[in-house]
Amino acid sequence: MSTVQSDLSTIIRSNENPLVRFATGAGLIVLTYVALYALYAVQQPRALTSYSIAALINNTAPLALAAAGQAIIVISRGFDLSVAGVISICNVTLAVYPMDGPGGALASVVLCLAIGGSVGLVNGYLVAVLKLQSIAATLATMIICQGIALVILKAPGGSVSEWIVYEMTDRIFSVIPVSGLILGGVVLIWLALKRTSFGISLYAIGADETSAALSGINVTRVRFLAHVLAGCTYGLAGFMLSAQTATGNPTSGTPLLMLSFAAVALGGTALTGGRGGVFASIMGAATLILLQKVLFSSGVSSFYTGMFQGCILILAVVFSSLLARLGDAK
Please, which of residues 179-238 interact with other proteins by CB under 8 A? none
Least distance to other proteins, CB of residue 116, Å: 17
Among residues 24, 261, 286, 293, which is the contact residue for other proteins, using CB under 8 A?
261
Considering only the stretches 3-11, 104-112, 132-140, 219-227, report the one whose residues sit in contact with other proteins under the rule CB under 8 A: 132-140
Applying CB under 8 A, does 136 fall inside the site for other proteins? yes
Applying CB under 8 A, does 301 fall inside the site for other proteins? yes
Applying CB under 8 A, does 299 fall inside the site for other proteins? no
Among residues 54, 137, 222, 323, which is the contact residue for other proteins, using CB under 8 A?
137
Backbone phi, then psi, for 198, in 5-degree steps?
-65, -45
CA distance between the termini of the chain: 32
Considering only the stretches 42-50, 94-102, 108-116, 313-321, report the one whose residues sit in contact with other proteins under the rule CB under 8 A: 313-321
Q: What is the 3-state secondary structure (H, E, C) of the chain?
A: CHHHHHHHHHHCCCCCCHHHHHHHCCHHHHHHHHHHHHHHHHHCHHHHCHHHHHHHHHHHHHHHHHHHHHHHHHHCCCCCCCHHHHHHHHHHHHHHCCCCHHHHHHHHHHHHHHHHHHHHHHHHHHHHHCCCCHHHHHHHHHHHHHHHHHHHCCCCEEECCHHHHHHCCCEECCCEEHHHHHHHHHHHHHHHHHCCHHHHHHHHHHHCHHHHHHCCCCHHHHHHHHHHHHHHHHHHHHHHHHHHHCEECCCCCHHHHHHHHHHHHHCCCCCCCCCCCHHHHHHHHHHHHHHHHHHHHCCCCHHHHHHHHHHHHHHHHHHHHHHHHHHHHC
Applying CB under 8 A, does 129 fall inside the site for other proteins? no
Q: Which is nearer to other proteins, 144 or 213 (CB)?
A: 144
Applying CB under 8 A, does 310 fall inside the site for other proteins? yes
Applying CB under 8 A, does 176 fall inside the site for other proteins? no
Applying CB under 8 A, does 46 fall inside the site for other proteins? no
Considering only the stretches 9-17, 18-26, 61-69, 148-156, report the one whose residues sit in contact with other proteins under the rule CB under 8 A: 148-156
Among residues 30, 96, 144, 213, which is the contact residue for other proteins, using CB under 8 A?
144
Cα distance between residue 66 and residue 82, in whole Å: 10
Applying CB under 8 A, does 314 fall inside the site for other proteins? yes
Least distance to other proteins, CB of residue 144, Å: 4
Applying CB under 8 A, does 313 fall inside the site for other proteins? yes
Size of the residue set binding other proteins (CB under 8 A): 47
Cα distance between residue 260 and residue 249, in whole Å: 19
Q: Which is nearer to other proteins, 41 or 151 (CB)?
A: 151
Applying CB under 8 A, does 329 fall inside the site for other proteins? no
Least distance to other proteins, CB of residue 251, Å: 11
Question: Where on the chain is the footprint of other proteins (CB under 8 A)?
Answer: 79, 81, 126, 130-133, 135-137, 139-152, 154, 250, 258, 261-262, 265, 270-272, 301, 303-307, 309-311, 313-314, 317-318, 321
